[in-house]
Structure 1
Amino acid sequence: MINLPHDDNTCGWYHALTPQIEKPSLKGAQSADYVVLGAGFAGLAMARRLAELEPNARIVLIDAQQVGQGASGRNSGFVIDLPHKFSLEHPDPAHKQRLLSLNRAAIKQLSSLIDKHNIDCQWSAAGKYQGAVGPRGEAYLDHFEHLMTDLGEPFEHVDSNQLAKVLGTDYYSRAIYTPGGYLVQPAALACGLAASLPSNVEVLENSPIQRLTKEQGAWQLHGENGSIKTAKLLLGTSIFTREFGFLKNRLLPVMTFASWTRPLTDYEMHHYSGTLDWGLTPADHAGTTLRMTADRRILIRNTYKHVTKYGNSINDKVRADIQSEHRKVFLARYPQLAHVPFTHTWGGSYAISRNFTNFFGELDDGVYASACDNGVGVAWGTVSGSLLADYVVGATSNALSDIQKVTGMPSLNPPEPFLGLGVKSRIKLAKWQSRSEI
């Protein structure tokens, strides 16, 4: 029994878009030269690159939902060039430089596509703040500064007064600003990338694949109302890769949650007194992510859940409790905006691995995947998806060599119920330890 995506219908990013026209669904018995499963940033990049390399091939991109409704449209809209803190602690400097190069290649690729196709997605070279509330966060900032110095990357110290002028709140004690990151409306970017795919890519939406079989040397994908046969299957399915029997017991399904306000009025912007279009991540990884969007919405993201059945693990009461927690965080930072309501609270599932390793390559004869982005979905999905297409058709490049050197096999997890108990306990402990930074 496959646990299918079952995302809530309350994602603010997606609801902020103009209504999207649904694309056809999978019907009848079909065949394709290449099938890409999952229309997130990885799948979109796979399909685009395959179409460029194989212009005469029929390429089908399938998603269980509409483009932009899944995890790729549910993140906080950071496109980061720097590796996450865990990767920054890797002992090999060359490993870290390869990750930097790959992330920056993704940013360059996305910038080019956004310009070429006039994708309206609030794309902004805004950089990123990493902020501390108190002594615990400041200790993490000091560590981050050492890592950045060792890496030779530029950064700026931002004191509390400077930070308050940007954020419109004096809640934070200080921050480190890094200039290489971008901000984006993620659902708008995903939809724009799908709309601008080459003509030999056919997108099928609302087509959950319920079973995968191999018949006479070809892979058969079975949906509710149709099936499709292919010799080459590329999985951009992230955490759902395990539902098809691959990377079993190696991926951890985690959901993070966000809430945001309606756009602030001119009067409210005056009382807010900060600037537009910035993003702050917590120095303490279990703290709060904060954003002010280009269209005047304040976004709060924290709260982590272990979700064995993805969206089906979360009900309306859990979401209401999470929104209440987010409200306290919001009021602590912006008491002057206490009358401004949240309009949406949503979650998004993603995959992490215990050894913080991404998978890239061939899973079975004719089945390929880039899986387990470890929370760096936009940049990593884009570059790994493009390079997986190169790998499938036999193209070579320095970037392909780099990604093969920095990826590997996610480590095995303990069996259930020990895994679930351990993950939930770890999340609770991290929340308690980081309570002063939330």
Structure 2
Amino acid sequence: MNNRAIHLPHDDQDCGWYAALPEPAPAKRLNGQQQVDYAVIGAGFAGLAAARQLAVHQPEARIVLIDAQRVGYGASGRNSGFVIDLPHKMALEHPDPEHKQRLLGLNRAAIAQLQGLVEHHQIDCQWSHAGKYQGAVGPRGLAYLEHFERLMKELGEPFRSVEREELAGVIGTHHYSRAVYTPGCYLMQPAALVRGLAETLPPNVELLEHSPIKGLQRDAQGQWLLQGVDGQVRTPRLLLGTSIFTQEFGYLRSRLLPVMTFASWTRPLTDAEMQATGILPDWGLTPADHAGTTVRMTQDRRLMIRNTYKHVPRYGKSVSDSTRQEIRSGHRRALLARYPHLAHVDFTHTWGGVYAISRNFTNFFGELDDGVYATACDNGVGAAWGTISGTLLADRVVGAHSQRLQDIHAVTGMPSRNPPEPLLGLGVRSRIRLAAWNSRSEL
């Protein structure tokens, strides 16, 4: 199988999470000819979990985990730092209660797995069982919040309504009318977490960074050949933890939508600024209206604003410097609407991260080709889903059966086919603009 040119990640150089970390050790790169038992492409949450689980099952096997960038530099290190137990809003509306319970169980298994690894390896990543607020500003947000409460009651999950004054005592602003607090969410520093997971991989996993795979084909013996810049990997079994980039290897083409969302954060606030604002550290608030604004206060006291979505068919190359500056200005307006007394506090970083969604909101999990397996399309909930789907993909490959594996097969399927360009781009951009306009009161 020969592919067209593979388009590689093209992330900006301004991710605050990554910049806050110490300089990593020099990368080990793919060099020469290598024969391995398993190759995993993509060292994000899914790829890291898959490689680790393969090594647990087969400690004598030779496993390589390959990434085009440094660990933590790509999408898994660019999210807002939530590990959410609850199914996504669209999944919460699924008519089958068992479907929702399966998703809930999978997400919580991922959280338990990550917590165990963080504690066992003492990974310094601001890991915190902080729960999560879902906030509403005006009537539109409050209507979404009431709908969320109904869905939570149907699911039988605990939640608590938090009125304006109580909420302001935590987040330091009266901007929100009300919020719903759910206790099962964890917060973390994503780039630090994935780097820590990479540094504690089992000894039979070889991590190769800055090693883009430029071609993929099958040889006459049925082995897969992964062609790098300065080397080649030959393997009978290939696992793809490549999210949106799965289509670059010839799979799930015209079924995945590349979307980028953006965040900005401040320097750490001083003691005086924290006290004057009345803000507490270490919390996260997502919008009741999904197109609204996410706000985080990190453990090291940085305020983060995340909103704005873009369709990015060329990944990071789709976003110009001027567009990024416009987004930063929008983040600034959102910050000042909530914290006008912090007008003297500038943003230090603004970054984007690309992820995959599907038109039918379906995740792919399973075998794509003879000896090629993938988990793809996290639909915006990547930390928990990537962790559990990567783990279970390794189970699937080695033939280890479990109830969790049955559960993930039951809730996944084939992402629906997209319309052709230019109709696809026009449609996606129009929907994003409409959502932003309708949700302007919640931004």
- Coarse TM-score class (shorter-chain normalised): over 0.9
Task: Give 1:252's aligned amino acid.
Answer: L
1:111 aligns with 2:142: no
How far apart, CA to CA, are the structure 1 residues paired with 2:359 and 2:396? 26
Distance 1:260 1:253 in 2: 24
TM-superposed deviation, 1:253: 0.1
Q: Distance in 1 between matches of 2:274 and 2:108?
A: 33
Query: How far apart are the structure 2 equivalents of 1:392 and 1:195?
Result: 24
Residue in 2 that maps onto 1:187: 191
Taking the aligned partners of 1:81 and 1:112, their CA distance within structure 2 comes to 16
Q: Does 1:263 align with 2:274?
A: no
Q: CA-atom RMSD, angstroms?
A: 0.5
- Write the letter of the residue equivalent to 2:153: T
The letter of the residue matching 2:8 is L
Deviation at 1:58, TM superposition (A): 0.4
Q: Report the equivalent of 1:430.
A: 435
Q: Give, in whole Å, the separation in 1 of the partners of 2:437 and 2:150.
A: 26
Report how far residue 23 of structure 1 moved.
2.2
2:294 counterpart (289, 292, 310)? 289
Q: Deviations over 1:263-285 (max 9, x none)?
A: 00111111221111000000001
> Any conservation in 2 of the 1:5–1:310 contact (CA below 8 Å)?
yes
CA deviations over 1:351-397 (Å, ceiling 9, x no partner): 00000000000000000000000011000000000000000000000
Deviation digits for residues 19-68 of structure 1 (CA, Å, limit 9, x no counterpart): 11132111111111000000000000000000000100000000000000
Distance 1:16 1:321 in 2: 24
Match of 1:197 among 198, 201, 205: 201
Q: Deviations over 1:166-204 (max 9, x none)?
A: 110000000000000000000000000000000000000
2:161 is equivalent to residue 161 of structure 1: no
- 2: CA distance, partners of 1:349 / 1:29: 31
Amino acid at match of 1:301: R
Question: Who is 1:322 aligned against?
Answer: 327
Distance 2:301 2:154 in 1: 36
Letter of the 2:396 counterpart: Y
- 1:304 equivalent among 305, 309, 314: 309
> Residue in 1 aligned with 2:75?
71
Q: Which amino acid aligns with 1:282?
A: P
Counterpart AA for 2:66: I
Q: Which among 171, 174, 184 is matched to residue 170 of structure 1?
A: 174
The aligned counterpart of 1:406 is 411
Which deviates more, 306-315 or 34-43? 306-315
Distance between the aligned counterparts of 2:283 and 2:35, measured in 1? 45
SS of equivalent to 1:436: helix
> Hey, what's the Cα distance between the residues in 2 that align with 1:370 and 1:2?
19
CA contact (8 A) 1:22 1:66 kept: no
Summarize deviations over 1:125-153 as a string: whole Å, max 9, x none. 00000000000000000000000000000
SS of 1:161's partner is helix
Q: Give secondary structure in 2 for the equivalent of 1:412.
A: coil
Amino acid at match of 2:362: T
- Superposed CA offset, 1:301-324 (max 9, x none): 000000001011112111111101
- One-letter identity of the residue aligned with 1:436: S
Q: Determine if the alignment matches structure 1 residue 333 to structure 2 residue 333.
A: no
Q: Is the 8 A contact 1:264 1:296 kept in 2?
A: yes
**What is the Cα deviation at residue 436 of structure 1?**
0.6
Cα deviation digits, residues 247-296 of structure 1 (max 9, x gap): 01000000000000000011111122111100000000100000000000
1:46 and 2:40 are equivalent in the alignment: no
In the alignment, does 2:15 pair up with 1:34? no
TM-score (norm 1): 1.00
Cα shift readout 1:206-242 (whole Å, capped 9, x = no counterpart): 0111110110200001111111010000000000000
How far, CA to CA, are the matches of 1:389 and 1:417 in structure 2?
37
Partner SS, residue 413 of structure 2: coil
Residue 147 (str. 1) matches residue 154 (str. 2): no
Aligned residues: 438
- Partners in 2 of 1:249 and 1:296 — Cα distance? 41
- The AA in structure 1 aligned to 2:256 is L
> 1:249 aligned to 2:254?
yes
CA distance in 2 between partners of 1:272 and 1:387 (Å): 45
Task: Measure, in 2, the Cα distance between the counterparts of 1:434 and 1:420.
Answer: 21
Distance 2:325 2:333 in 1: 13
Aligned match of 1:5 in 6, 9, 15?
Answer: 9
> What is the percent sequence identity of the aligned residues?
70
1:367-386 maps to which residues of 2 (within 5 A)? 367-386=372-391
The letter for the 1-side match of 2:34 is Q
